[in-house]
Each structure stands twice: as C-alpha cells, then as structure tokens.
Structure 1
Amino acid sequence: MARAYVYREHGGPEVEDLADLPRPVPGPGQVLVAVRAAGVNPIDWKRRTGYAPPGAAPEALPAVFGSEVSGLVAAVGPNVTDFAPGDAVFGNPITGGYAEYTLLPVDLTARKPSGVSFPAAATLPVAAATAYDAVQQVRLLPGATLLITGVGGGVGVAAAQIARHAGLRVLGTASAEKKDFVASLGVTHVEPGPGTADRVRAAAPDGVDAIVDLVGGAALEEVAEVLDDRAKLVTAADRATVTALGGVGVERARTREVLDAVAWLVAEGVLDPYVTRTFPLAEAGRALRAVEEGHARGKVVIEVLG
C-alpha cells in the first residue's frame, strides 16, 4: 500500500483525505515512479469541484490529486527501454501526483538534470511547460511587448522569465502585495481591477503586442481591449471567454521535448521556478489551500519521499 492525498467525491475541501491505496503497476509505455516532489496547481482543486478539462476522460473516484511530479523510477512496464529503475525523472502522472508512488507515461516523462532539484523539477510539467507553450504560441520578436495577467503565480513567473530570455518587454498584472516580487522578475507591474486597461496603456504607450492570460473572466475582458490583433490573445484559464473575445486557448505541445527544454532553462540558470513554499504529504491540504485561496507567490510543492 502507498499513501496518497485524494478527493472521494466532487465538492469542497471537506471531500479531501489521506488514503492508503495499492501501489500502481506499470503497463506498456509506463514507468512507476517513487515520488520525491509534486507540484500544486489550480487545476488540482478545480478537478475536485467537478471541473473536467476539454477532452479529459471521466475519472474514477476516489481520485489522487496532482498533475506534475518528480522522483525516481521504481519499475518499468513491458518493453519500456527509455528508462530504468533508479533514473531521476519528472513528468505528468497518470494516477495522480500527491502520492508516494505514481505511474507516468513514457512520452510525458523526461530525465531530471543533475543540477535541478526534485522540488524544482516537480514544477515543470504543468506550470513551466504551459508557460513555454504560451510564449512560443504568440511568436513575438525581440523588443516586442507582452502582457501577462496573473504574473505572480507559478505559470506567470515562468512565462515572464521565458519571455524576458527571448528579449521581450514584459508587463504583468498582480496584486499590490506582489509588486516588488514582480519587479524582481524584470516585469513592469500593473495593478489589476477596474481601470486595468488604462494602466496598461500608461505603462506601454507604444502598445501591447500580445497577451498571455492566466486569470480569465472579467480580468481577461478588461485587458483584451488594449490588443488590436486578437490572434495574439491566448489564455490558459478561460477558453469560453477568450473565444468570445476572438482569442484562443494555449495550445499545449505535451511532449518530452518541451520538458527537456524547460529543464535545460532551469539547469542553465535562465528559469527559476520560485518554489516559495513546501509541505509534507501529510499536510497536502494546507498546500492546496495556499493555491486555492490565491495566497501563493511562485510555486507550492509537496515533498513526498525523502
């Protein structure tokens, strides 16, 4: 048996619990990983409420939280030759990440560089990979201006650094409490709320060339008006609203090549995942609340096996 943090039905925090589950057995194209760290993301608590991403298969309950992990390969499935027991890896789990053991598909598993910590690697498959895909999608040339809404969270922090490395000027919306942190990323802080569009125009009098939205809803509607080319309006948070505004959702590559690329950025010192808080598996609920209640700055990580 292995410990895992689960939700037993759809609802609020009251449906969460620690559970003992059978250790998964890897099938063809899969590896069993002893989890060292798991990243915490908004999608985790959203799925607990019953939200299902487009194209997601129906889930069986109880379901284990978590969609990005790092750890050591414990076993490989039939005919798997890409990895071997003992390999340090990271990727997107099939059977949830807030657990002592989980299964990863080989195609969405990458080797962890020796210079990248397990907690840092655990932030890459969702947050950093989404950021990488979003910045690639808007296809801006060096010197162009990118606006990121919700720049203080895990995806935003990664997107800002990746964009800056590409030679872009970056503006970002975030709460006033995160102003200094945002500035430390080389990002021009813009306070969200009514009048955001005017504040963006004041900060970028020559205009904004693209927007990466990580908030959705009214915040997305507010800033969309500053952008002339709606093909450059992409969101990782609210496809319904962005479609109505003439924009598009982030097109996720979901490949090992992207995982390798973001890991290289971390190893080279270009990308700092900003793991600001860590929790043991026994306190996974506290970790999830930090993200669900919007108090997290950077990335929250659950450390599992030492």
Structure 2
Amino acid sequence: MPKAYVFTRYGGPETEALIDVDRPRPGPGQVLVAVRAAGVNPVDWKLRGGYRRPGEAERDFPAYFGNEVAGVVEETGEGVEGFAAGDEVFGRPVLGGWSQYALLSVDLIARKPDAVSFAQAATLPVAAATAYDGLRQLALPPGATVLVTGAGGGVGVAAVQIARAFGLRVAGVASEGKKDLVESLGAVHVPSGPGWTDRARALTPDGIDGIYDLVGGEVLTEAASLRTGGAALVTAAAPPGEAERLGGARVARAYDNAVLEQVADLVARGDLDPLVTRTFPLERAGDALRAVEEGHARGKIVIEVAA
C-alpha cells in the first residue's frame, strides 16, 4: 500500500507517523499525481499543533502534512482537460502531499518546466507564490525600495529574488548568521535584533517605499514605524486585523494557475533560485519538519519521494 506521513491528533512530534493509506482516486476536476517531491513549511507544524484558519472546519484524523508537491500525473478525473498521464506538474494538493500519491485540483496545478527540478518545483506553490502575491500587492515601481523582514526564510528568500527580478532595491532583515545568504541574493542586509529599525533607516538613506513582513508580532509593529511618505505595508505573518491597525494589509493570495506558471518561469529563467538547502526521504519526514520547526533552516527544506 502507498505510504503517507501524517499526524494522528493535535500535539507535538509524538503525534506523527508514517502509515499505509489507500491509493486515492481522482474526482471531477482532479488529477492523481505520483509525488516526487514535497515542500516543508512552518504552517505544517502549526497545523499539527492545532492551528486552524478562521472558518476552517475541524480536521479528520489521521491528517496529512504538506501543502505543495511536484510529481507525475498518474490518472485524471472526469472533466479534466489539458493534463494527461505522464505530465510533470506541481501545485497544491487537496489533502496533503507528504505521501507517495496526492490529489491535485486542476485549478491549483501547473506544468513543471524541463529546466526546473521536482525539488525546486515543490517549493513554489506556497513559499514562492506567497512572495509573488505580496510583491504584486505592494505594486512598487522599478527602482523603488522594499524592506523584507524574515528575509532568510523560505518565503523571504523568494521575496528578495522576485523583488530584484521586478527591478526593486531590497533591504532584507535577517539574523547575522544569514548575512551572506541575504547579500548573495542581491539585498542589503539589515541585522535583526534590538535596534534593527535604526539600522534599517541608516542602510536605506533614500527611504523605504514598501514593507513586506514575514515575521509578524513585535517585528511587524516595529516595521510599521518605518512607514514614511505613505509607504505600503503587507504581511503574510499576522491576521488582517493586526495589519489594518498598523495601516497595512494581509497578503491577498491569488491561488491560481497563473501565479504558479509565473514563478516557475522565474526559476526557469534563472531569476529565482528556491535554494533547496536540504532534502529528506519520506521515511525521514519528521526530521525534515524538525529542521523547519526549530527555525534555523536556511532556504527551503524538501521531502523527496522515490519513484
């Protein structure tokens, strides 16, 4: 039987397990994909801990991990056009992607370019697409300066590079240990920690035109203090109400094929490197999650599934 990595109840790592599951059957508008790679994101351990988005129903257990996958189409459901068995694709799974097989809706799937690896493609539906949506929402003109908090994480690494591809100047807030990483992406490094806003002002003498927050909490509040001259502010790490209180907005996710195609094209052109820094087999999915949960991962962590 196919394998899947799941959590059996809300809690910590003790709730996780690699289990046998039935092979899914695609419904109308769905494709069944043999997973080759799956991305790991902070939301995975947050969901295991009981986090639910507003209005989201209680989940059934065992519950799947994983919100982004890449693989090969095995079977298509009723009404599916434009995709066939053997196509290499990536997207957001219906139930979860840390498994040998996953169902994907044709509304949230795109073809994987030949120049993009499965591991790279598996990082795009959440991290890169979130980065892309937020920068489009800021709508800054070429030559403007954007400040990115959390610039050394998975979304931050993508945001810095996509901003550079859009012709923006970038100041990236990250720990001192990620200075070389941030600067290698073409951004001015702003060391995080107490007093970081003063350092940000000093390092951006021409001012800040937009702020993309990926940390939330106190960092978001401090970032808002840098808004001068009507600088735009968006966050992917705080509730809409908190963002609005500070004069900004929550990132409005597009969740469509067009964004997936755009970010894949950026990778194929060499404008975006997802920086897959570590890979783990499905059998070690727990170790992959620990690497992200501990908060020290550089770039993206990916689970690879053997063919």
| TM-score after normalising by structure 1 | 0.97
Q: What displacement does 1:228 show? A: 2.7
2:203 aligns to what? 203
Q: Secondary structure at the match of 1:300?
A: strand
Cα drift, residue 61 of structure 1: 1.2
Q: Residues 208 and 231 of structure 2 are in contact (CA less than 8 Å); yes or no, is this contact kept in structure 1?
A: no
Alignment map for 1:204-283 (pairs within 5 Å): 204-228=204-228, 232-239=232-239, 240-283=241-284
Opposite residue 123 of structure 1, the aligned amino acid is T
Describe the shift of the 1:256–1:246 C-alpha distance in structure 2 as closer, same or farther (beyond 3 A). same
Instruction: For residue 164 of structure 1, report the CA deviation from its aligned partner.
Output: 0.6
Contact 1:231 1:247 in 2 (8 A): no
SS, match of residue 116 in structure 2: coil
Task: Give ranges in structure 2 of 5+ residues lacking alignment.
Answer: none
1:35 aligns with 35
CA gap of 1:108–1:231, structure 2 versus 1, over 3 A, is farther
**Code of the aligned partner of 2:68:** E
Runs of 4+ deviating beyond 2 Å: 53-58, 228-231
- Map residues 121-200 of structure 1 onto 2, 5 A cutoff: 121-200=121-200
CA contact (8 A) 1:157 1:298 kept: yes
Shift in Å, 1:230: 6.4
Name the SS of the counterpart of 1:197 in structure 2.
Answer: helix
8 Å CA contact 1:231–1:248 kept in 2: the answer is no
Query: What are the equivalent positions in structure 2 for 1:102-117 lying under 5 Å apart?
Result: 102-117=102-117
The residue identity in structure 2 corresponding to 1:137 is: Q
The count of residues paired between Structure 1 and Structure 2 equals 306
- Give the residue type in structure 1 aligned to 2:253: R
Question: SS where residue 107 of structure 2 aligns?
Answer: helix
What is the match of residue 86 of structure 2? 86
Structure 1 pair 14–230 and aligned structure 2 pair: CA distance change class (3 A): farther
Relative distance call for 1:209 and 1:78 in structure 2 (3 A) is same
* 1:100 equivalent in structure 2: 100
Distance in structure 2 (CA, Å) of the matches to 1:57 and 1:253? 21
CA–CA distance in 1 between the matches of 2:230 and 2:17? 43
Q: CA RMSD in A?
A: 1.2
What corresponds to 1:301 in structure 2? 302
The amino acid that maps onto 1:21 is V
Residue-by-residue CA offset, 1:154-193 (whole Å, 9 max, x unaligned): 1111111110111111001111111011110011111112
**Contact 1:275 / 1:298 at 8 angstroms: preserved in 2?**
yes
